[in-house]
Structure 1
Amino acid sequence: MIARPKQHDPAAAGGVAPAPGAALRGLVAESAAARAAVALARRAAASEIAVLFEGESGVGKEVFARAVHADSARAHAPFVAVNCGALPESLVESILFGHERGAFTGAVERRAGKFVEADGGVLFLDEIGELPLSAQVKLLRAVQEGEVDPLGAAQPRRVNIRLLAATNRDLRREVAEGRFREDLFYRVSAFPVRIPPLRVRREDIAPLALRLLARLAPDGAQPRLTPEAARVLEAAPWPGNVRELENALHRALVLADGGPLRPEHLPAPAPPAAVHGATQGATQGATHEGPHDGALPTLSEVEAAHIRLVLARCGGRMAEAARRLGIGRSTLYRKLADLGISGGDGAA
């Protein structure tokens, strides 16, 4: 097993210890789904258990991982992030576990490897499901034994790391189909934390947008979001999640040219077919009971999401919304009642 963490004294390092749990408390979590994910992450931060962050692309899995590290006993030790999907297959073992000079053609100098770089701290393996099976074997040994075998080295090297990982795949399905080792799955997923997509945490969208705008705006600028623009953001499906939201806000800032952000500065509504998002877990929030079932939303859910989006774009004006939807106003009222959507002139 991987060793217990070394004790770190922030005062000795010239720093000031942050308030316990400050990083996780700082995450935007107004919705019940996000609060559940943060609550699980807080429990994970207080232990040394291996954590697997699950969720669609762009939901902020690395943000959660960094917050867990910042609130843990290893906060003042390294946090080393590796995107497994970006590693060339021929160099995976060298990058993760290191190599000696001359270990293979082109190895002109010694490389420590990511495990050694993270010694004493946290190694975060993003998109762990992308690792080839050959590298999974060595990763399992490193996780189980707390040591790595650099290519060309005479002896293994002990390492003291905490492993955090993330995936947007259903790893149980990957195991069943032979693409991910079952023994490794149980090692890395001891404590799964599912990060919900934006479409099931709409209460978080406006405060999250304000935080992103503060970060994206030029120094000294104080960007404003009009209520109409906020309603458009809250109604949009955001298949790309926080990453897509951030890109949309960056574009809107440029178009607003220093003024308040209005609906016309935001991207046009996505077609209904895009509402289901890019990947899995359409309706599941945060849980640690296992991976999602990959279910797609129902037709009524897709229809409801699109109607909310159009209503927000129209500022709640029913006649305009009905015109854009290509239906009569009475039909729109009936759909609102059937789908349980609050509507009416001036309401979004």
Structure 2
Amino acid sequence: MTRVLVVDDDPVQLRLTAEIANRAGFKPITATGGEQALAALRDDRRIGAVILDLVMPDLDGMAVMEIMRREGLTNPVIIQTANASLETVISAMRQGAADYFVKPVAPERLVISLRNALKLEALESAIRAEHSRKSGTFSRSDMIAAAPAMARVLSLSAKAAKSAIPVLVEGETGTGKELVARIIQGTSDRAGKPFVTVNCGAIPPNLVESVLFGHKKGAFTGAHADQHGKFAEAHGGTIFLDEVGELPLDTQVKLLRVLQDGEIEPVGATRTEKVNVRLISATNRRLLNLAKSGEFREDLYYRLNVFPIYVPPLRERQEDLKALTDHFVARFSAEAGKRVLGISPAAMDLLHGYDWPGNVRQLENAVYRAIVLTDGAFLEIQDFPQILAQSAGREEALRSIEQVEIPAMPVHIDAAPARGRSEPAIAAQPDRFLDATGELQALAAIERAAIEFAIRHHGGRMSRVARALGIGRSTLYRKLHEYGLAEGLISDAA
């Protein structure tokens, strides 16, 4: 559930705004002043948006936004105030406010503003992460990893960044092993330097050595010029060998020499070349098992496995599923030019119930497909037919798709029927003055029921019961005896 910080020094307005956010499915956190709001933002990095009052006694809204900008707090801010002057609006927008409205605001307007701000924040986060990735300054704040299962991964990454120790990142396919490698590089002294990625399993065996270490002109047929290898490209920076377990055994020998001596020997060269490279490798297979079976050199395994980091699968970090989904929705809806605001609770429950064998990469592809297929403002269950088919069966997936209303033939705009609205079913309530057979009850039975209800409503306080029924206390006690209700009720607590 997305957290929303509501800041207002008016307790009534604070309570009303928080209740609107709560009913819209957000989790409101309240603050009565600017200093308290800043403290909440510093302590809780999971706050998605801020609804900020401009006029406050200790620290006004403009000052809060200025401090947020100075401290790098990028939470989207929605301004609310009683002052509707154009100068105030311009000042707030210049400070980075995502939206602005005048109190009192309609609940629908506030909810739409919140959803737009959160979508904008998700899109800006995706852009910031992409920029950090390309510039080589990717850090832990750019990766969606708030789940407890990821705490150790981030902690080990921070420790690995402080040295040039070889790191082996293990985990299933699609868990984000490359992002972990980028965090290590982006927070080390090699930040901003080259980051070269090599998928060892995608290179033909006869070209692996040339791709990694380069070749000289005439070294083999087709070598018309000298070619630098990936290690030479990564000089001064980091090289990431993905699926390192797929390397041929003869190439593993040369890789071992690079780790031991910091030297590479291009194909066809007569002498070695020095390289200064930080090596991070990754695998979705247990290298120890490959070493035992002879498919991987044991001495190279011990050189690579100096500092292992295990990245858990998505099914073990379900707390990140909503944030990851929102991130992909914002990114792909912008790329596709669609106005998709988010995902419905029912569809989110479907995603939570799936075990994601393909991990984050599978989630990314599923959301991308849903964005392309959907015509609504929110992704629904029927936009994930493959996930639904694997979770609930093919028949359930077909049934949910069939429930979507699709006209059999084109309908002219003048003949288009109004979309029907499903009215909630209201159970029939029996009339309180009729008995089980439908006949009118006797006056005494109705009076007894009224006295019993009044006693329950007022907690047995007979003075209040008598006043509410408009009769004296002596008359009330007489009727209690008359209807057999006196036992246990005579002790008047009023």
Give the structure-2-normalised TM-score: 0.50
SS for the counterpart of 1:269 is helix
Structure 1 CA distance for aligned equivalents of residues 254 and 238 of structure 2: 18
1:209 maps to 325
Structure 1 CA distance for aligned equivalents of residues 185 and 233 of structure 2: 15
Please tell me whether the aligned partners of residues 236 and 270 of structure 1 are also in contact (alpha carbons under 8 angstroms): no
Q: 2:374 aligns with which of 249, 252, 256?
A: 256
Please tell me whether the aligned partners of residues 146 and 158 of structure 1 are also in contact (alpha carbons under 8 angstroms): yes
SS for the counterpart of 2:217 is coil
2:207 maps to 91
Task: Give 1:243 shift.
Answer: 0.8
Structure 1 CA distance for aligned equivalents of residues 140 and 254 of structure 2: 32
Please tell me whether the aligned partners of residues 195 and 234 of structure 2 are also in contact (alpha carbons under 8 angstroms): yes
Structure 2 CA distance for aligned equivalents of residues 143 and 164 of structure 1: 11
Structure 2 CA distance for aligned equivalents of residues 268 and 139 of structure 1: 41
Q: 2:294 aligns with which of 178, 183, 186?
A: 178
Please tell me whether the aligned partners of residues 351 and 387 of structure 2 are also in contact (alpha carbons under 8 angstroms): no
Q: After the TM superposition, which of the residue ranges 221-230 and 199-208 deviates more from structure 2? A: 221-230
SS for the counterpart of 1:229 is helix
Structure 2 CA distance for aligned equivalents of residues 104 and 251 of structure 1: 44
User: After the TM superposition, which residues 64-213 of structure 1 pair with which residues of structure 2 at under 5 Å, given as runs?
Assistant: 64-213=180-329
Structure 1 CA distance for aligned equivalents of residues 148 and 354 of structure 2: 19
> Aligned AA for 1:85?
G
> Aligned AA for 1:263?
I
1:247 maps to 365
2:39 maps to none
Task: Give 1:65 shift.
Answer: 1.0
> Aligned AA for 1:230?
M
1:227 maps to 345
Please tell me whether the aligned partners of residues 138 and 182 of structure 2 are also in contact (alpha carbons under 8 angstroms): no
Please tell me whether the aligned partners of residues 174 and 362 of structure 2 are also in contact (alpha carbons under 8 angstroms): yes
1:269 maps to 388
Distance 1:199 1:186, change over 3 A: same
Residue 44 (str. 1) matches residue 160 (str. 2): yes
Cα shift readout 1:228-262 (whole Å, capped 9, x = no counterpart)? 21111111111000111011101111122352111
Please tell me whether the aligned partners of residues 203 and 234 of structure 1 are also in contact (alpha carbons under 8 angstroms): no
SS for the counterpart of 1:218 is helix
Cα shift readout 1:17-37 (whole Å, capped 9, x = no counterpart)? xxxx97113322222111221
Q: Which runs of 5+ in 1 are unaligned?
A: 1-14, 273-305, 315-348
Structure 1 CA distance for aligned equivalents of residues 344 and 374 of structure 2: 11
> Aligned AA for 2:347?
A
Whose relative contact order is higher, 1 or 2, with alpha carbons under 8 Å and at least 6 apart? 1
Task: Give 1:97 shift.
Answer: 0.6
Cα shift readout 1:163-196 (whole Å, capped 9, x = no counterpart)? 0010000100000000001111111111111110
Task: Give 1:120 shift.
Answer: 0.2
Structure 1 CA distance for aligned equivalents of residues 183 and 327 of structure 2: 16
Structure 2 CA distance for aligned equivalents of residues 37 and 270 of structure 1: 33
Please tell me whether the aligned partners of residues 147 and 156 of structure 1 are also in contact (alpha carbons under 8 angstroms): yes
Structure 2 CA distance for aligned equivalents of residues 223 and 72 of structure 1: 37
Residues matched between the structures, number: 259
Structure 2 CA distance for aligned equivalents of residues 109 and 128 of structure 1: 28
Please tell me whether the aligned partners of residues 146 and 159 of structure 1 are also in contact (alpha carbons under 8 angstroms): yes
Structure 2 CA distance for aligned equivalents of residues 43 and 235 of structure 1: 34
Identify, as 1 or 2, the structure richer in helix.
2
Please tell me whether the aligned partners of residues 99 and 113 of structure 1 are also in contact (alpha carbons under 8 angstroms): yes
Task: Give 1:46 shift.
Answer: 2.0
Distance 1:239 1:124, change over 3 A: same
> Aligned AA for 1:251?
R
Structure 2 CA distance for aligned equivalents of residues 22 and 163 of structure 1: 17
Structure 2 CA distance for aligned equivalents of residues 60 and 134 of structure 1: 29
Residue 33 (str. 1) matches residue 152 (str. 2): no
Distance 1:205 1:72, change over 3 A: same
Structure 1 CA distance for aligned equivalents of residues 390 and 240 of structure 2: 36
Give the structure-1-normalised TM-score: 0.70
Please tell me whether the aligned partners of residues 209 and 249 of structure 1 are also in contact (alpha carbons under 8 angstroms): yes
> Aligned AA for 2:149?
A
Cα shift readout 1:89-145 (whole Å, capped 9, x = no counterpart)? 001111101110001122111111011000000000000000000100000001110
Residue 56 (str. 1) matches residue 162 (str. 2): no
Q: After the TM superposition, which of the residue ranges 114-123 and 42-51 deviates more from structure 2? A: 42-51
SS for the counterpart of 2:327 is helix
> Aligned AA for 1:269?
L
1:292 maps to none
Q: Which runs of 5+ in 2 are unaligned?
A: 1-130, 401-494
Distance 1:83 1:67, change over 3 A: same
> Aligned AA for 2:388?
P
Distance 1:251 1:79, change over 3 A: same
- Percent identity (aligned): 48
Structure 1 CA distance for aligned equivalents of residues 226 and 317 of structure 2: 47
> Aligned AA for 2:232?
V
Please tell me whether the aligned partners of residues 102 and 108 of structure 1 are also in contact (alpha carbons under 8 angstroms): yes
